[in-house]
């Protein structure tokens, strides 16, 4: 038993020496490098995978039968095309399996982050209305051009003020307002 204690004391003394600490640090760094290097090979194609997933989401509609399989296959074909361009060879079956796994993982990440959700129809309708309003269709009501050629700005009482500062009456031929209707008419 005393021999074991002596051997452990010598090992402990060696590990506490500068040379022993250097050996331990080197071993830990070597193991860490091996673990880091063993990351999946599909990570180098992550950008192409994201692009392929978004392409497949756009190209294959939601009402397609087996849409998940179709989208995975479309994304896989896209990434395999990129792989072939980069490496000048086709992918091995192991690489295809890893790329499929990468597509599933990245798709789950994109979906959980909300990067694949389509905007709700109400948002699309609001954006369409804003686009129509600011494209000039709605501006024709607000800005009117008098016959003299100067721009006018419409006011609530249907009279227009020209940029010259002159007040013009634009009620001729317009829809009657409460000011134009007699008070004795029952509605």
What DSSP string runs through the chain? -HHHHHHHHHHHHHHTSHHHHHHHHHHHHHHHHHHHHTS-GGGGGHHHHHHHHHHHHHHS-TTSTTHHHHHHHHHHHHHHHHHHHHHSSPPPHHHHHHHHHHHHHHHHHHHHHTSSPPPPHHHHHHHHHHHHHHTTTTHHHHEE--TTS--EEE-TTSEEEETTS-EEE--TTS---TTTS-TT---
User: What's residue 115's pLDDT?
Assistant: 77
pLDDT digit string (tens) for 11-54?
999 988 998 889 999 999 988 888 776 677 788 888 899 999 99
Confidence of residue 118 (pLDDT cuts 50, 70, 90): low
Of the two residues 156 and 74, the one the predictor is more confident about is 74
Contact 144, 168 (CB under 8 A): no
* Verdict on whether the full-model pTM lies above 0.75: no
pLDDT at 1: 83
pLDDT > 70: percent of the chain: 64
- What pLDDT, on a 0 to 100 scale, did the predictor assign at position 78? 93
The per-residue pLDDT for range 128-143, each reduced to its tens digit, is: 766 766 766 555 555 5
Which among 174, 169, 145, 151 has a CA at the least distance from the CA of 159?
169
Q: Rounded mean pLDDT of 172-187?
A: 51
pLDDT at 126 over 90: no
Question: Residue 143: beta bridge partners?
Answer: 153
CB neighbourhood size of 97 (10 A): 12
pLDDT band at 186 (very low <50, low <70, confident <90, very high): low
Exposure string (b/e) for 148-166, b if CB count within 10 Å is 16 or more?
eeeebeeeeebebebeeee
């Amino acid at each position: 038993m005393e021999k074991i204690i002596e051997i452990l004391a010598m090992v402990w003394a060696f590990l506490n020496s500068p040379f022993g600490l250097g050996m331990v640090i080197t071993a830990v760094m070597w193991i860490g490098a091996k673990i880091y290097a063993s990351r999946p090979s599909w990570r180098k194609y992550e950008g192409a995978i994201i692009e392929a997933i978004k392409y497949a989401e756009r190209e294959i509609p939601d009402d397609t039968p087996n849409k998940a399989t179709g989208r995975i296959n479309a994304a896989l074909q896209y990434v395999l095309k990129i792989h072939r361009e980069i490496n000048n060879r086709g992918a091995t079956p192991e690489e295809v399996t890893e790329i499929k796994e990468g597509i599933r993982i990245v798709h789950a990440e994109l979906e959980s982050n909300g990067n694949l959700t389509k905007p709700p129809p109400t948002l699309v309708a609001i954006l369409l209305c804003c686009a129509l309003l600011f494209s000039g269709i709605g501006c024709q009501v607000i800005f009117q051009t008098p016959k003299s050629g100067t721009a006018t700005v419409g006011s609530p009482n249907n009279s227009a003020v020209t940029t010259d500062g002159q007040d013009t009456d634009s009620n001729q031929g317009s829809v009657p307002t409460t000011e134009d209707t007699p008070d004795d008419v029952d509605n």
